[in-house]
Amino acid sequence: MSESSQRVEVSDHDYRRITTFVYDEAELFEEKDYQTWLSRVTEDISYQMPVRGVFEKGQQSEQKFQNGYFDDDLDSLTLRTTLWAQASTTVAESPPSITRHFVTNIRAYAGEAAGTFQVTSNVLVFRIRSTSSTPHLFSCRRNDLLREVDGELKLAYRLVKMDEPVVQSPNLSFLV
């Protein structure tokens, strides 16, 4: 949704529900409580994090998104988070990283379908490994679709647009 005239503001009550959902999600990521997080996504979840490319075109640079770091559904998210949670099956998170998720600029609008919400936010993830003294910062913009399911908000779609074209980290073994 790029035209502000097309946006329908949500009620204060719904905005509080949405921000609570977003902040609770950040806490679940930091606690690595992926089972609880998976219970808060829809069965048809689409979670995407494409690679950002910057291309020179004349005097202007174009930003395009291609391929992806993540292009996951519920099955692949379940497998990915299960592997991260089991230190014996992966070296990527052994020992586990410490992460902090800073979520700002949360904007929420009514979605096209009843009971859905278009949500955008900016996220900064601070990550440090106990085996390294150098932290990594990941800055991105998220475009989400939240859907009401049995009275609860659930994440149905997420598009993560990283701000940097090359991720300066050995892996992306965390969710944004």
Full DSSP string of 38-104: HTTEEEEEEEEEEEEEEEEETTEEEEEEEEEEEEE-HHHHHHHHHHHH-GGG-STTSSPPEEEEEEE
- pLDDT value of residue 55: 64
**Model's pTM, two decimal places?**
0.85
- pLDDT value of residue 97: 80
Instruction: Report d(CA 160, CA 138) in Å as an integer.
Output: 11
- pLDDT value of residue 59: 53
Nearest to 46 by CA among 174, 166, 145, 142: 145
Measured between alpha carbons, how far is residue 1 from residues 110, 142, 155, 175 in Å?
A: 11, 13, 18, 24
Nearest to 139 by CA among 174, 103, 107: 103
Average pLDDT, the chain: 86
- Name which CATH class applies to 8-162: alpha beta
Pick out the chain residues at pLDDT < 50.
1-4
